[in-house]
Structure 1
Amino acid sequence: MLDVYSLEIGFYAVLAFVLLAVKIYAFVSSLTFSAGSYEAAGKLTKPTWTILLGLGVVLQVLLLNNPIGILNLIFTIAAIVYLVDVRPAMAGLRRR
């Protein structure tokens, strides 16, 4: 018989893994662009984004027991903003 507690633990484990994967992908992606790309796209600087995204990865690894905590949600939003707004703007500059 499946109880609610084990279902909740499984859900949090999957959620934590997905959020960590998104943050790691965003962090590694931020390292691949040059500092000039950030400036040309009119976004925050490369050190700002890499520190922000790297800090999000580190904090999630340290605070893994709470995937929906306020700090984790803030850094997840930052990673999503990077992936949805900043990365496409810089990728568009490469194609030109």
Structure 2
Amino acid sequence: MIRSLQILVYFALYFTVFVFAAWALVDALTRPAGAFVSAGKRTKNFWLAVTGAATAVAFVAIPAPIGLGAFSFLALAAAVGGIVYLVDVRPAVRPYSGRRGRGQGGGGKSPRGGW
């Protein structure tokens, strides 16, 4: 019983890391390259490489039967790569992406800091 619960928790944690990494990769793919430069972050290709590698490692680390269960020690690095993008880079490049957020004209602030 406890072993089954441990396996379920283990699976849930690794699957969550995979979801965050995949979300970061999809978001990086949809942002224009100029937004990264305008925000003062590294290039789009750099973040695509980081989030792509994080997604691949996170998928491989998911326990069988979905993933391979290999390289599970690298899942922490995958989590860091995805979370850094989502917490630091994504909010910085969002104003320069040319999209409207939340249906209210981009959230209120312009990229230059004014209203």
- The two structures share one fold, judged by TM-score above 0.5: yes
1:60, distance to aligned residue in structure 2 (A): 1.8
Structure with the higher fraction of residues in helix conformation: 1
Distance 2:32 2:95 in 1: 14
Instruction: Tell me the residue number matched to 1:50.
Output: 48
Q: Which has the higher contact order (CA 8 A, sep 6+)?
A: 1
Distance 2:6 2:51 in 1: 27
Could you list the runs of 5+ residues in structure 2 that have no partner in the other structure?
Answer: 64-68, 99-105, 111-115
Could you list the runs of 5+ residues in structure 1 that have no partner in the other structure?
Answer: none
Instruction: Tell me the residue number matched to 2:18.
Output: 20
Matched residue count:
94
Q: TM-score, normalised by structure 2?
A: 0.73
Contact 1:26–1:82 (CA<8 Å) still a contact in 2? yes
Higher-Rg structure is: 2
Distance 1:35 1:58 in 2: 22
Q: TM-score, normalised by structure 1?
A: 0.86
1:67, distance to aligned residue in structure 2 (A): 9.1
Distance 1:61 1:30 in 2: 18
